[in-house]
């Protein structure tokens, strides 16, 4: 390997799998930085890309360096870059936004319709080096180490969703105890929700939720009806707020049933296709539904870093750590569906 080459985990062929290859170190433009990657997180999205499902085939160009959850350090900067320095530890927003849409010009960068994702549409972070626009860089304070830095992207999904509605003193239902649902539970606890209840069909996931979220009530909806939980916990009508984080139609139905009149739902989970919804139930309960995509740029980053510096602890959601060379083990673990976050080390 020559010095201008790097190891990268590449979707090299339009078929199942990812391949560790040597690729040129990305060239940076005047507004970019070059980041030496320290750690990366494996996301459900990366599993879709590995599996080469319909969505991945429609979306991902081949060849592509995959991965979008990362922490590292700046090793080179374009001539226009200010306020950052070589050696600085950073993570960053993986959504590359345009600057022309009405939303972008209004400062609502997370609503820009021209957004392109690193590791999905553009060259990604599963590599020794990543090119990123300086605009997207988020410096890491000392209190946030590299492995937490590597999961800020999904923690950001959790924070964005959880902070969609006021949770102070409210009773919260989260459906889906994947890494994001669990981290949303921890955030809700941190900001002062009253009861935090989380459902999943997988006992390993419910056990992990218990480890990460203080005083959480975990429920397998196949075994326990949510109405029983509502009455056990002494709630009068039901949950005030729901965070849907499973992508399951059944979970959304249960959530609508278990909410109070005038309840609020933030939807992060992505259902596999079209699914039937009992709209009249939602209308008669006067429920507000908000779709949530990505993170608010950069308000979510600001809030999550502030919370991490002040007692929010999501580290136990990281259940597995591998060297990048052992990426197959990492993907196998994620594909098993019972792990928390899986982090790869690139140094
Ligand atoms: P995950 O797949 O690890 O977790 C989903 C969990 O839901 C699993 O543990 C599964 O057992 C559980 N589940 C399935 N059916 C259920 C049911 N009927 N009731 C309760 N739980 C059920 O996913 P994740 O990485 O934690 O992400 C959560 C969701 O958010 C996924 O749907 C993902 O695609 C989506 N997502 C959306 C965005 C966005 O920007 N909108 C970003 C990241 C992830
Ligand atoms: Zn992700």
Domain membership of residue 169 (yes or no) is: yes
Residues 91 and 176 in one domain: no
CB of 268 sitting under 6 A from ligand 1 = yes
Residues 142 and 162 in one domain: no
Domain membership of residue 221 (yes or no) is: yes
Domain membership of residue 302 (yes or no) is: no
CB of 221 sitting under 6 A from ligand 1 = yes
Domain membership of residue 297 (yes or no) is: no
Residues 216 and 99 in one domain: no
Q: Is 66 helix (H, G, I), strand (E, B) or coil?
A: coil
Rounded to the nearest angstrom, the distance between the alpha carbon of 150 and the centre of ligand 2 is 10
Rounded to the nearest angstrom, the distance between the alpha carbon of 95 and the centre of ligand 2 is 11
In the set 38, 48, 110, 195, the catalytic residue is: 48
Integer Cα distance of 38 and 70 in angstroms: 8
* Nearest-CA residue for atom 33 of ligand 1: 269
Low-confidence ranges of the chain (pLDDT < 70): 1-2
Kindly state the tokens that stand for 212: 């990460």
Residues 232 and 266 in one domain: yes
Residues 218 and 249 in one domain: yes
Atom of ligand 1 nearest to the CA of 291: 41
List the domain range (segments joined by +) for residue 199: 158-291
Domain membership of residue 308 (yes or no) is: no
* Neighbouring C-beta atoms of residue 2, cutoff 10 Å: 7
* Nearest-CA residue for atom 35 of ligand 1: 269
- Asked about 45 being catalytic, the answer comes back as yes
CB 173 within 8 A of CB 243: yes
Atom of ligand 1 nearest to the CA of 247: 32
Percent of the chain exceeding pLDDT 90 equals: 98
Backbone angles phi, psi at 225, to 5 degrees: -80, 140
Atom of ligand 1 nearest to the CA of 246: 7
Residues 189 and 63 in one domain: no
CATH number at residue 194: 3.40.50.720
E runs forming strands in 169-306: 172-175, 196-199, 217-219, 239-244, 259-267, 288-291
* Nearest-CA residue for atom 34 of ligand 1: 270
CATH number at residue 12: 3.90.180.10
* Neighbouring C-beta atoms of residue 243, cutoff 10 Å: 33
Integer Cα distance of 208 and 182 in angstroms: 8
The number of distinct structural domains making up the chain is: 2
Contacts of 55 (CB under 8 A, 6+ apart): 48
Atom of ligand 1 nearest to the CA of 294: 40
Residues 146 and 22 in one domain: yes
Residues 147 and 169 in one domain: no
CB of 250 sitting under 6 A from ligand 1 = yes
Residues 143 and 170 in one domain: no
Domain membership of residue 296 (yes or no) is: no
- Asked about 59 being catalytic, the answer comes back as no
Query: Rg of the chain's alpha carbons, rounded to an integer?
Result: 20
Residues 9 and 75 in one domain: yes
Integer Cα distance of 282 and 301 in angstroms: 32
* Nearest-CA residue for atom 17 of ligand 1: 251
Domain membership of residue 125 (yes or no) is: yes
Q: Best of 49, 158, 162, 247 to mutate for ligand 1, by most ligand atoms within 8 A of CB?
A: 247
Residues 143 and 173 in one domain: no
Integer Cα distance of 113 and 286 in angstroms: 29
pLDDT of residue 187: 98
This prediction has a pTM of: 0.97
pLDDT of residue 2: 54
Domain membership of residue 304 (yes or no) is: no
Q: Tell me the per-residue pLDDT of 201-235, one tens digit each, with 9 for 90 and over.
A: 999 999 999 999 999 999 999 999 999 999 999 99
pLDDT of residue 3: 74
Residues 37 and 131 in one domain: yes
CB 334 within 8 A of CB 342: yes
């Amino acid at each position: 390997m020559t010095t201008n080459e790097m190891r990268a985990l590449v979707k090299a062929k339009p078929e199942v799998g990812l391949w560790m290859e040597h690729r040129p170190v990305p060239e940076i433009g005047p507004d970019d930085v070059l980041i030496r990657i320290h750690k990366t997180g494996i996301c459900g999205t990366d599993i879709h890309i590995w599996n080469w499902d319909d969505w991945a085939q429609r979306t991902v160009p081949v060849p592509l360096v995959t991965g979008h959850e990362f922490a590292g350090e700046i090793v080179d900067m374009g001539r226009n870059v200010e306020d950052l320095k070589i050696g600085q530890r950073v993570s960053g927003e993986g959504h590359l936004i345009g600057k022309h849409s009405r939303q972008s010009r209004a400062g609502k960068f997370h609503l820009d319709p021209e957004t392109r994702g690193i590791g999905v549409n553009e060259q990604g972070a599963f590599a020794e080096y990543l090119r990123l626009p300086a605009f997207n860089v988020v410096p890491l304070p000392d209190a946030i180490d590299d492995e937490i830095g590597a999961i800020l992207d999904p923690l950001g999904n959790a924070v964005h969703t959880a902070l969609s509605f006021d949770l102070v003193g409210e009773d919260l239902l989260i459906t889906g105890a994947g890494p994001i649902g669990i981290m949303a539970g921890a955030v809700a606890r941190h900001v002062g929700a009253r009861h935090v209840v989380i459902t999943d069909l997988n006992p390993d996931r419910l056990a992990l939720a218990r480890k990460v979220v203080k005083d959480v009530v975990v429920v397998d909806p196949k075994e326990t009806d949510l109405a029983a939980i509502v009455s056990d916990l002494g709630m009068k009508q039901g949950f005030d707020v729901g965070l849907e984080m499973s992508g399951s139609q059944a979970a959304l139905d249960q959530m609508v049933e278990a909410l109070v009149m005038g309840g609020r739902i933030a939807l992060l989970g992505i259902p596999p296709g079209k699914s039937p919804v009992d709209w009249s139930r939602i209308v008669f309960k006067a429920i507000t539904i908000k779709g949530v995509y990505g993170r608010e740029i950069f308000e979510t980053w600001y809030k999550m870093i502030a919370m991490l510096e002040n007692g929010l602890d999501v580290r136990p959601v990281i259940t597995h750590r591998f060297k990048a060379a052992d990426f197959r083990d990492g993907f196998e673990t994620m594909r098993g569906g019972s792990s928390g976050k899986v982090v790869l080390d690139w140094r």
